[in-house]
């Protein structure tokens, strides 16, 4: 699958959620998609949550 097909599928899902459940369904679907993306990155090993937490709490810079 290329990125265009994935983008179309995500757009169709978000459109369905907004038409079926209104604005809150749209916002809820976006929140759950973001959570899924972050969890996927963590499971792939591309994001280290300890370093993210350290950067957010001011113990370490993000650069």
pLDDT by residue (tens digit) across 19-42?
999 988 888 888 988 888 888 888
Domain assignment present for 23: yes
Structure token digits, residue 41 = 């990155």
What residues make up the domain containing 14?
A: 3-57
Residue 63 belongs to some domain of the structure: no
* Count of domains observed in the chain: 1
User: What residues contact 47, with CB distance under 8 A and at least 6 apart?
Assistant: 38, 41
The model's confidence at residue 61, banded by pLDDT at 50, 70 and 90, is low
Q: Give domain status of residue 11, yes or no.
A: yes
- Structure tokens, 27: 């916002």
pLDDT of res. 20: 92
Q: How many Å apart are CA 31 and CA 56, to the nearest integer?
A: 20
**Mean pLDDT over residues 10-26, rounded?**
88
Residue 45 is given by DSSP the state T
Q: What are the pLDDT digits (tens) for 36-60?
A: 888 888 888 888 888 888 888 988 7
């Amino acid at each position: 699958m290329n990125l265009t097909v994935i983008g179309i599928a995500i757009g169709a899902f978000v459109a369905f959620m907004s038409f079926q459940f209104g604005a809150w369904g749209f916002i809820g679907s976006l929140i759950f998609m973001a959570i899924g993306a972050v969890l996927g990155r963590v499971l792939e090993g591309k994001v280290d949550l300890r370093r993210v937490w350290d950067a957010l709490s001011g113990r370490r810079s993000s650069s």
